[in-house]
Structure 1
């Protein structure tokens, strides 16, 4: 979210998704690749867990040249 334009940009992004219409919604939706966005959906516990597990996955792939397992891919993609 660091490229959205600070606090004001983040507020405009949230408002565009709440309204689900207009050019801003279309631009943000295309930029993020999502049709729904809710800042309040952030789960601190989930993010802390992901921050523990994801770096080792990337280390295996990029430093040890291992193919990611299906489980790794699903975890990264939150499937």
Structure 2
């Protein structure tokens, strides 16, 4: 079963600090309670995205960091 997300951010070609800047820019334009799926190859996102969610009061609903691309599901 495939799940499609309305809001999607592909950061696989980005590296730190661009990943967080692009994430902030994208999440600013989605409505509250909506989900955002983020894909990344940058190992620093393992640390940066959970910290970003904590400080910006977003919910990290789900994450997969065993293999690349890393996947994060955020709720604004």
TM-score by length of structure 1 reads 0.26
Higher relative contact order (CA 8 A, sep 6+): 2
TM-score by length of structure 2 reads 0.27
Q: Which has the larger radius of gyration?
A: 1
Which structure shows the bigger proportion of residues in helix conformation? 1
